[in-house]
Every structure is written in C-alpha cells, then in structure tokens.
C-alpha cells in the first residue's frame, strides 16, 4: 500500500510553555502543520521592551547600512522563493504560483522601492518661509521614527502584508513587534528568519504568536503606533483601544469593491478580469471584485463569457496533488495539473459565503455557476460562484463576502453606474473597463474609493509607488509608497533664527501704540493695493524703535 506523504511538523516556538500551545492546520486537508505558543501578556510586553532597546541603536544606524540588510534580505528571499511560497501555500491554501506572484514578488518589489526612495525621504528637508518677517529664520523638517510599531496582520496574505509593513517600518528607523493571524503564523516566522539571516538585529523584529488575546496585549504594551489589517468590527475595537492612549493607527479594513464595465469595453478582456478579480485567493482579498455592474447592451454576453471561464477553473490544493501522485484517488474536480483556486481559510468563512449566496437567491438572484461547497475536496472548498440580476437589498451587495462569488447586475447610464458603485459603506478600491481611456479616467474621478483602476483589477496593490488604503469604513491611513513611508515617521520641525542677538519685534513691551503698529504690519504684508500696504509700512515703522521691557 502506498503511504501518503505527511506534512512536516514544524518545531514549537522557543518561547513555548507547557499547556499554552495552539495548532496550525492546512486549510485543505486539516492536517496539523505545527504548534506555536499562545504568548502571554508578560511575554509580549518583554518582546516590546527588547524591540525598544534595539530601536535606539537602529535609529542611529546610517540609512545606507540599513539598506545593506535589505539587499541581503532580497537576495535570500529570491533564492528561497520556492520554499517560502510552499510555506504560504501550506498554511493559507492558495496555489504556490499565486503565492509566488501575489506575495513573494510584491515583497521583492517593495524592497527595491525602499532602497531607491528611503535615503532621500529621510534627508532633512528645508522649509521655506513666505512671510517676510520670518525670512531671518531657517526651517528644517526632520522625519523621526515612532519607536516600536505594533503590526497586527491577517491570514489572507500572510507574507506580503506583514512584510511590506514591517520592512517600511524598519527602513524608516523603527523596531517592529508583529502579531500574525493564528491561522497563518509561519509566513511571518519565515520573514523573521530571513531578516535575521540578512543581518538584522534579532531584537528589532519580534514575532509574537497567539489568538486575539495576543493582539489585545500588543495594543496594551508600550508600542508607539499600531498598524492593523482586518475586519471593520475588529478595526473599530482596535481604534477604541488606541484612542484611550492617543495611539496613532493605520487601519486597513477591507472593502466591497465595485467593477464597472461600460458598453465599449472588450468583453473577453473584461470577463477574464472579473473572473480573476473575484476568485483569486478564493475571493479572500480586500481588493476582490465583490460587486460587478455591466452596461445593459453587453450584460448577457458578459455573463455568458464569465460562466464559460468559471467552469474551466481547476479547484484543489497542492496537498491533494501530492496524494494523487502517491496513488491515492482524488476527485476529478482536483486535477493533478496546477490548480487555479484553493480552499477557503476555515469553515466559518465558508458559512458566511454560503449564507450570502442563499440570501441572494432567495431574493431573486439567478445562480449561473457554483453556489455550493465542494465537500468532496474538503470542508473548506467552495465552488466559484456567479450570481446575476442582484440588487442592493441583498447581503451579497452590501456586506463584505470575502469569498469566491461574482455578483453581477446591469445598468443603463454612467450616472447610474457611479451611483451604484458609491452606494456602499466601503471605499477601498474600484475598477472601470472601457476602450476609451479618457472616458474611464473621467469616470474614475467620480467613484468614491482610495484607488480606481482603469482596465485592470487588484494589481494596484503590487505597485510599490502607489498608496494603498481606503475611505469610509475601509479604514484610516495608507500603506505603500510615499504615503506609507509618512505613516511610519512623525514630522519634527526645527526652526533656527539667523539673528540670535536681536530681540524680536513682537516680544513684551507692548505699550499703548503697539497694537496700532502691529496693525500696520498686517496691512504692509497682506493689504490689497500698493497704497494701503505703504500706509501700513509707515504705521509699523515705530515698532522697530520701541523699547522692550524684557
């Protein structure tokens, strides 16, 4: 009898204590990948203290030396890309090819961006003074690291999200204490391992493991900023806890992203984009196409194309492929060739998707593909689903589904499409498909979202120069690009007077005429018309000669 290869059990975390372990499971097979500790509040506070001590040294390290660590990290990640992708796939369930393209490659591009831009970003920046009275002062803007940045990261992109945020924080002189999801902690531990191998002080990046209690303990610890990615409900609790300490936050809370397909769009291209945008990572992406609006003239043809392409998708997991290769029967729905879509992360998330689909069908939506769990593959597989004739009374169009569902409805005019797209509490991203680029860009200005893509979906996240973040319930602040760098520093303005031996005109010694003289100054600087300004100059003249009391 052929033996089925079992996943290698990862060693316990070095901080593990008896009785405080939790298991990490492969979402496709439910097999245990490894065990890690539910770290205590005291352990987390100690990790923050270690990071704080290391941060002082790191902040004093020249930027070029920091970038040398980043260069080595990128080299190691590039060399070990296959093994890192396998770790991501094993605990998140996504195809390894998808882990490579949407996680590893994005992180490597981020490193290149940081190397190219951080040195100039951190240079002291002169601040010119427009007010003539202030011309005798020199102003300089400095960007200072916060200290220890606490990062709470989700399970859907377990390598790229924590890596991008961690690398940005480190590049700008901070230390990081990172709390990954308890469903996908090993990807963050890979990040930690690679950075340490690249020469990073081990205390500068502390990965803490555990469930929601560990995240709460991190919020209560002595961190100086929190970066949280997750649900709106949890994000609100994070914001409330941070507000009690006046702790600055970045919150990326997901979305209900709309796709608008205009009648002049290439239907073949747009339908392929919709299918990939809705089902990539089993729809568990904050930037997924969660609402699709198609102009009535091409509505039926667009649906036909989407259904045709959806039925060609290969569902399964690399673990199931391993079994097939070992001679164990595998359902036809999971071919041995490379898969397109893997499982969902857990049954709770699958049940949300199923409830949204049932609600839509009960309210009149047409089910054109999928719509049910693929139990023959495992408890966490859900068939990629297409719903037609949906409306905004349905949960599928109002609540974040976070699963492999493409709900589609028609529209008549551009105004109607914009109104539908903006009819949401979310505002993370959106996309518009049209063969008229100017038309698409004009429409993009009317859509309420942090990012609007014209003739593409999702890939805005992979553009390191572009800010990522939303409005409304989609969150606060930005990651990526210059705006992401600004989130990791606080601005310090240094003002240096060039006349240190001169007392200033506005100091004490006001006297009865001082107000009139200052009024003259205001007229000299700001009055409309040359005559009024000259008159103000005369009024202010005596202020130069007045006697100072102090």
Do 462 and 105 form a contact (C-beta atoms < 8 A)?
yes
The helix/strand count (H/E) of the chain reads as 18, 20
* Angstrom distance (rounded) from CA 252 to CA 451: 13
CA angle 428, 432, 436 (to 5 degrees): 150
* Angstrom distance (rounded) from CA 172 to CA 489: 7
Do 33 and 12 form a contact (C-beta atoms < 8 A)?
no
Q: Which residues contact 195 (CB under 8 A, 6 or more apart)?
A: 69, 73, 170, 205
Q: Which two tokens mark 270?
A: 């747009």
* Angstrom distance (rounded) from CA 443 to CA 432: 8
Sheet of strand 249-252, all strands in order from the earlier edge strand to the far edge: 205-207, 175-179, 148-152, 225-229, 249-252, 475-476
- Torsion from C-alpha of 224, 189, 480, 75, nearest 10 degrees: 130
Q: Which two tokens mark 427?
A: 């505002």
Pairing state of beta strands 426-427 and 471-472?
Answer: antiparallel
Q: Which two tokens mark 288?
A: 């997924």
Do 145 and 61 form a contact (C-beta atoms < 8 A)?
no
486 backbone φψ class: left, alpha, beta (φ>0; ψ -120 to 50):
alpha
- The set of catalytic residues is 252, 286
* Angstrom distance (rounded) from CA 10 to CA 163: 21
């Amino acid at each position: 009898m052929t033996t089925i290869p079992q996943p290698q059990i990862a060693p316990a975390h070095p901080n593990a204590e008896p009785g405080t372990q939790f298991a990490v499971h492969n979402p496709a097979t439910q097999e245990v990948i490894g065990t890690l500790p539910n770290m205590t509040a005291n352990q987390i506070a100690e990790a923050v203290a270690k990071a704080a001590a290391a941060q002082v040294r790191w902040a004093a390290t020249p930027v070029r030396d920091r970038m040398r660590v980043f260069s080595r990290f990128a080299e190691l990640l590039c060399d070990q890309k296959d093994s890192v992708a396998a770790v991501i796939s094993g605990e998140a369930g996504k195809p390894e090819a998808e882990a490579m393209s949407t996680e590893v490659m994005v992180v490597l591009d981020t490193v290149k961006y940081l190397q190219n831009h951080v040195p100039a970003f951190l240079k002291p920046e002169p601040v010119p003074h427009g007010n003539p009275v202030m011309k005798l002062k020199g102003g300089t803007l400095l960007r200072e690291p916060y200290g220890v940045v606490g990062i709470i990261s989700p399970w859907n992109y377990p390598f790229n999200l924590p890596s991008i945020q961690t690398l940005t924080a480190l590049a700008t002189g901070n230390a990081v204490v990172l709390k990954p999801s308890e469903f996908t902690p090993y990807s963050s531990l890979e990040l930690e391992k690679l950075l340490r191998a690249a020469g990073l002080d081990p205390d500068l990046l502390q990965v803490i493991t555990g469930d929601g209690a560990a995240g709460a303990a991190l919020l209560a610890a002595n961190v100086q900023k929190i970066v949280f990615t997750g649900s709106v409900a949890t994000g609100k609790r994070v914001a409330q806890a941070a507000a009690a300490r006046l702790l600055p936050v970045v919150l990326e809370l997901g979305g209900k992203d709309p796709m608008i397909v205009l009648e002049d769009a290439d239907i073949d291209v747009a339908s392929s984009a919709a299918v990939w945008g809705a089902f990539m990572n089993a729809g568990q992406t904050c930037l997924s196409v969660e609402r699709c609006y198609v102009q009535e003239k091409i509505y039926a043809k667009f649906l036909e194309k989407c259904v045709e392409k959806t039925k060609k998708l290969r569902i399964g997991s690399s673990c199931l492929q391993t079994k097939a290769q070992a001679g164990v029967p595998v359902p036809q729905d999971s071919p041995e060739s490379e898969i397109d879509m893997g499982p969902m992360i857990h049954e709770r998330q699958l049940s949300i998707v199923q409830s949204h689909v049932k609600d839509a069908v009960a309210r009149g939506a047409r089910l054109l593909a999928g719509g049910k769990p693929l139990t023959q593959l495992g408890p966490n597989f859900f068939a990629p689903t297409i719903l037609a004739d949906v409306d905004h009374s349905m949960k599928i169009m109002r609540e974040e589904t976070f699963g492999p569902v493409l709900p589609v409805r028609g529209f008549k005019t551009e105004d109607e499409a914009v109104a539908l797209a903006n009819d949401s509490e979310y505002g993370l991203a959106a996309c518009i498909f049209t063969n008229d680029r100017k038309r698409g860009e004009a429409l993009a200005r009317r859509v309420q979202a942090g990012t609007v893509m014209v003739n593409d979906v999702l890939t805005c996240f992979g553009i390191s120069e572009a800010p990522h973040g939303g409005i409304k319930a989609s969150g606060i602040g930005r990651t990526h690009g210059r705006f992401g760098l600004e989130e990791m520093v606080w601005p310090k303005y240094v003002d240096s007077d060039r006349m240190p031996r001169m007392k200033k005109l506005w100091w004490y010694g006001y006297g009865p005429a001082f107000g009139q003289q200052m009024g003259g100054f205001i007229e000299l600087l700001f009055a409309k018309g040359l005559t009024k300004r000259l008159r103000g100059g005369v009024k202010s003249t005596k202020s130069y000669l007045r006697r100072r009391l102090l």
